[in-house]
Copies of this chain bind each other. A is one copy, B any other.
Amino acid sequence: MSVMDFHFDFSSPYAYFASTRVDELAQRHGRVCRWRPMLLTPAFQASGNVRLIDQPLKGAYSRHDWDRMARLMQVPYRFPDPFPIGTVAAARAFWWLDSTDPVLAKTLGRALFHGYFADNRDISQRNVVAAIGAELGIDAAQLLAAVEDPVWKAKLREETEGAIAAGVFGAPFMVVDGEAFWGVDRLGMVEEWLARGGW
């Protein structure tokens, strides 16, 4: 089945909002959505950008926009503290699980997003990631071992480098047959692209 790639960092509010829509969107067009967590910091470095929250004017706008967009999309959200955070543990845990159970990996991914952005759980902490996993029946000791495993460290690094090499500079970043769409505000455009096969 053809895919729709969904590149993101677990620390991005816009990616969280998109994550509540991408799977159904892909399914409506006979595709499977492939979640691809990465680290945004190297992507920002590569593209000369800084975190939204640190930008004068745009930072204040974004913070207001997240609240407004959450209400519009009816997605549970509160501005988390701390923000932003490192998502190495969350992303490695996802990739580890994805290698054996992609469906459960997505379930974990949704729970991590929800835990951080709706329940203010600090998923930069590996113990929090493990606790969220445990609530889904995922073995906490195995998850914590995977987070430290060189295999999953390398996987996340490669994923991030590969995404940047493919042009990913922000999140969410959707790619369909090589066509790239950046931002949750482009989900409508992605849908149009899939429905019409481009234009």
Would you call A55 and B48 a contact (CB within 8 A)? yes
Residues of chain B with a CB closer than 8 A to A189's CB: 72, 185
Contacts of A68 in B (CB 8 A): 199
Could you say which residues of chain B place their CB within 8 Å of the CB of A72?
A: 189, 192, 199
The distance in angstroms between the C-alpha atoms of A71 and B198, with both chains bound, is: 10
In the complex, what residues of B have CB within 8 A of residue A48's CB? Answer: 50, 55-56
CB of A57 within 8 A of chain B? yes
Interface size class of A (residues with CB under 8 A): 20 to 34
Q: Specify how many copies of this chain sit in the oligomer.
A: 2
In the complex, the chain B residue whose C-beta lies closest to that of A54 is B48
Query: How distant is the Cα of A50 from the Cα of B58 in the complex, in angstroms?
Result: 13
- The answer to whether A56 touches B61, judged by C-beta atoms less than 8 angstroms apart, is no
Q: How far is the CA of A145 from the CA of B183 in the complex (A)?
A: 44
Q: Using an 8 Å CB-CB cutoff, how does the interface string of A40-77 with B read, 1 for contact, 0 for none?
A: 00010011111000011110110010001001100000
B47 touches A56 (CB 8 A): yes
Taken together as a complex, chains A and B put the C-alpha atoms of A149 and B102 apart, in Å, by 66
Interface residues of A (CB under 8 A from B): 43, 46-50, 55-58, 60-61, 64, 68, 71-72, 164, 167-170, 180, 182-183, 185-186, 188-189, 192, 199
In the complex, 21 of the A-B residue pairs with CB atoms within 8 angstroms, ordered by the A residue number, are A46-B56, A46-B57, A47-B55, A47-B56, A47-B57, A47-B58, A48-B50, A48-B55, A49-B55, A49-B58, A55-B169, A56-B169, A57-B164, A58-B169, A58-B170, A61-B169, A61-B180, A61-B182, A68-B199, A71-B199, A185-B186
